[in-house]
Structure 1
Amino acid sequence: MDFHDTQFLSRISADLIVVIHFAFVMFVLLGQVLITIGALAGWNWVRNFKFRIIHLVSILFVVFESMAGIICPLTTLEKWLRKQAGQASYQGDFIANWVHEVLFIDEGTVDPWVFTVCYSLFGLIVLVSFFFAPPRRKSKAHTAEEV
Structure 2
Amino acid sequence: MLLHFAFLVVLTLGGFAAWRWPRLILVHVGLAVWGVLNAVVKVPCPLTDIEDWARRRAGEEGLPQGFIDRYLTGVVYPEEHQGAVQLGVACLVAVSWVGYALLWRARRRSVAAGVR
* TM-score band, normalised by shorter chain: 0.5 to 0.7
Over the matched positions of the two proteins, sequence identity in percent amounts to 22
Unaligned runs of 5+ in 2: none
| Structure 2 partner of 1:26 | 9
When the two chains are superposed, the root-mean-square deviation of aligned CA atoms in Å is 3.9
For the pair shown, the structure with the greater C-alpha radius of gyration is 1
**Which of 1 and 2 has higher RCO (CA within 8 Å, sep 6+)?**
1
Shift of 1:106: 6.8
Pair 1:136 & 2:109 matched? no
Q: Which amino acid aligns with 1:136?
A: W
- Unaligned 5+ residue runs, structure 1? 1-17, 39-44, 91-99
- TM-score w.r.t. length of structure 1: 0.48
Aligned partner letter, 2:96: S
* Number of positions where the alignment pairs a residue of Structure 1 with one of Structure 2: 102
4+ residue segments displaced more than 4 Å: none
Listed one character per residue, the Cα deviations across residues 66-103 of structure 1 (whole Å, up to 9, x for unaligned) are: 1111232101221122123211368xxxxxxxxx8xx8
TM-score, normalising length: structure 2: 0.57
**Residues 1-147 of structure 1: pairs in structure 2 closer than 5 A:** 18-32=1-15, 35=16, 46=19, 48-88=21-61, 104-105=71-72, 111=79, 114-115=81-82, 117-134=84-101, 135-136=103-104
Alpha-carbon distance between aligned partners in 1 of 2:81 and 2:36, rounded to the nearest angstrom: 12
